Structure 1
Amino acid sequence: MSVTMDWSNEQEAVEIPEAWGQRLERLLELAARAEGIEDGEVAVTFVDDARIHELNREYRGIDRPTDVLSFAMQEDGEDELGIIYEVEDEADELPVSEPLGDIIISVETAVRQAEDYGHSLERELGFLFVHGFLHLIGYDHQDAEAEAVMTAKQEAVLQQAGLTRE
Structure 2
Amino acid sequence: MNDAKLKGNLEGVSARALERFAGHARRAAGLRREVHILITSSRALRALNRRFRKKDKVTDVLSFPAALGGAHCGDIAISAEIAAEQARARGHSVAQELKVLMLHGMLHLAGYDHETDNGEMARKEERLRRDLGLSAGLIQRAKDAKRPTRLGPNSRTNHP
TM range (shorter): 0.7 to 0.9
The 2-side partners of 1:101 and 1:55 are apart by 15
Question: 1:136: how far off?
Answer: 0.8
The higher relative CO (CA closer than 8 Å, separation ≥ 6) is in: 1
TM-score, structure 1 as length reference = 0.70
- Deviation string 1:101-135 (CA, Å, 9 cap, x unpaired) is 10000011111111122211111001001111111
Using the aligned pairs only, state the percent identity.
Answer: 36
Q: Is the 8 A contact 1:47 1:107 kept in 2?
A: yes
Runs of 4+ residues deviating >4 angstroms: none
Find the counterpart in structure 2 of residue 146 from structure 1. 120
Uncovered stretches (5+) of structure 2, i.e. residues with no partner = 137-160
Q: Is the 8 A contact 2:100 2:135 kept in 1?
A: no
Find the counterpart in structure 1 of residue 158 from structure 2. none
Query: Structure 1's 74 and 149: CA in aligned 2 closer, same or farther, altered over 3 A?
Result: farther
- Deviation string 1:35-73 (CA, Å, 9 cap, x unpaired) is 444x31111111111110000011001111000000011
The 1-side partners of 2:130 and 2:7 are apart by 26
Uncovered stretches (5+) of structure 1, i.e. residues with no partner = 76-81, 84-97
Query: Structure 1's 6 and 33: CA in aligned 2 closer, same or farther, altered over 3 A?
Result: closer
The 2-side partners of 1:129 and 1:66 are apart by 14
Asked if 1:26 is matched to 2:25, the reply is no
TM-score, structure 2 as length reference = 0.72
Aligned-CA RMSD value: 2.4
Find the counterpart in structure 2 of residue 88 from structure 1. none
Find the counterpart in structure 1 of residue 139 from structure 2. none
- Deviation string 1:9-45 (CA, Å, 9 cap, x unpaired) is 1x5xx6154x2x22222223322333444x3111111
- The one of 51, 60, 67 equivalent to 2:53 is 60
Asked if 1:130 is matched to 2:123, the reply is no
Q: Is the 8 A contact 1:127 1:154 kept in 2?
A: no
- The one of 80, 86, 91 equivalent to 1:107 is 80
SS of the equivalent of 1:139 reads coil
The 1-side partners of 2:51 and 2:74 are apart by 17
Report the number of matched residues: 135
